[in-house]
Structure 1
Amino acid sequence: MDTKTQIEALESRLIEAMKTSNVTELDALLANNLIFTNQNGHLVSKEDDLNAHRSGEMEIYTLETSAQIIEVLNDVTAVVSVIKDMSLSYAGHTSVGIFRFTRVWHNNGTNWQIVAAHSSQVI
């Protein structure tokens, strides 16, 4: 399987894990040193993200992809830009809108994980 196909499959696994708050799967897909900047400009660590899903503080109602670009930079790094139509609740606040996510996938020699991500609300 080529790298682009692998990243497409990983992105699908990620989305399903996010929708179902599958903490085990998210733990496997997110690097321990993850740097994620959310749409409010706040940094979110891997543990912050896992805890939000684990506690039920994060609940995703809908999550649909409308556009995705995957750029494979080399054998160990790929960048994904994707637009998502989402509705979710986080810490009691509901958000609905169109978001763009940028994710950096890195192969650490054992598996691919997300090492950096950023989200912005488009609409």
Structure 2
Amino acid sequence: MDTKIQIEALEERLIAAMKGSNVAELDALLADGLIFTNHNGHLITKQDDLQTHSSGKLEIYSIDISAQLIEVLDSNTAIVSVVKNLSSEYDGHVSVGIFRFTRVWHFNGSQWQVVAAHSSQLVS
């Protein structure tokens, strides 16, 4: 299967897992050594992300994608840049805005996983 098509499908799985706080799916899609810098500049680990989703304090109301670029570097690495209109609530605080996410997907020999990510808020 074409790598770009695989990454598109993985991105769809990731969005669905985020929306549904599907911790098992997120655990499979995120590398153990994940480095994620959020829009506030905070470093988030895989365990931090899984804890946020499993806590029940996060509810994602909507994630709408308006632009996506996938750059396949080689058979093991791809970079995704995507713009998302995101509406969520965490621990009683509502967040609505347009964000750009950059993710690095890496094939570790058995599966594709996100190894690094960064988000920036474009519009609040």
TM-score, structure 1 length as denominator?
0.98
Q: Tell me how far 1:79 sits from its aligned partner.
A: 0.1
Q: Tell me how far 1:92 sits from its aligned partner.
A: 2.3
Q: Distance in 2 between matches of 1:6 and 1:39?
A: 27
Alignment of 1:1-123 (within 5 A): 1-123=1-123
Alignment RMSD (CA, Å): 0.6
Describe the SS at the equivalent of 2:109. Answer: coil
Q: Relative to structure 2, which stretch is displaced further, 44-53 or 86-95?
A: 86-95
Q: Relative to structure 2, which stretch is displaced further, 50-59 or 38-47?
A: 50-59
Q: Which digits, 9 at most, give the CA deviation of each residue in 1:72-120, with x for residues without a partner?
A: 0001000000000010112321110100000000000000000000001
Query: Where does the alignment leave 5 or more consecutive residues of structure 1 unmatched?
Result: none
Q: Which digits, 9 at most, give the CA deviation of each residue in 1:11-70, with x for residues without a partner?
A: 000000000000000000000000000000000000000010001122101101010000
The residue type paired with residue 88 of structure 1 is S
Query: Where does the alignment leave 5 or more consecutive residues of structure 2 unmatched?
Result: none
Aligned length in residues = 123
Q: Distance in 2 between matches of 1:91 and 1:104?
A: 28
Describe the SS at the equivalent of 1:122. Answer: strand
Identity of aligned residues (%): 69
